[in-house]
Amino acid sequence: MPKRRWSFSDVEQSIYLTFDDGPIPEVTPWVLDCLNQYNAKATFFCIGNNIEKHPELFSRIIEEGHAVGNHTQNHLNAWKTKSKLYLANIQYAQETFYQHKSFTKLFRPPYGRLKKKQEEVLLAKGFDIVMWSVLSKDYDQKVTPEKCLNNVLENVISGDIVVMHDSKKAQKNLMYSLPKMLKHFTKEGYVFKKIS
C-alpha cells in the first residue's frame, strides 16, 4: 500500500474526479447537477467548517452516491502549522464528519502539503491519503477556462485522479470546463468513479 495515493491502476477506462474545499451553496449544487446529468460519481474533499455551515449540501453529496473525504476543519497549510495543531484540526473535522453520519478515512491535505511526521501519524490512524495525478488549476486566476479544460483533456489517462474545486475562486473555470470534460470523456467511453 503506497503512503499516498496518486492514481489507480484500473483495467477499464475510468477517471476519479475529486472536488476540494466545499461544500458551498454557490457552486456545489451546480457540480452535483452536472455529475447527475452524466451519471458520474466523484469524491468531495470537504472542509469541516463548510459542512457545519451547509449540512444539507453535505447530506446531498452522500445521498447522491458520491464519496467524501476530510480536507481539515479550516483548510490549514501543513507546512505552516505546528503538527500537533494540524493533526488536532483534522481530528476536529473527523468529528464533524461523524456528527453528519460519515465515517470516511479518506484525507487530502490542503495545497497537497504534508510533513513526514504528520503523514506517519495519519497512516497509523488508518487514513488513506489521496493526492492526484492531474491538476486542472481551476483555482488559478491566471489560467483561462480553456486552459483549465485542456489541462485535463490533454493529460488524463485511465485511473487518473483529477483535482478540481467546488469553490468561489474556481467557479468561472469550473463552470466552463466540467460539463465539457464530462461530455468528452463519456463519449470516449470512460466511467467516472468515486474513491472508496
Q: Which residues are catalytic?
A: 20, 165
Is residue 117 within 8 Å of 83, Cβ to Cβ? yes
Residues 6+ apart with CB under 8 A from 9: 159
Query: Rounded to whole angstroms, how far apart are CA atoms 193 and 92?
Result: 28
**Dihedral of alpha carbons 104, 56, 176, 74, sign:** negative
Residues 6+ apart with CB under 8 A from 39: none
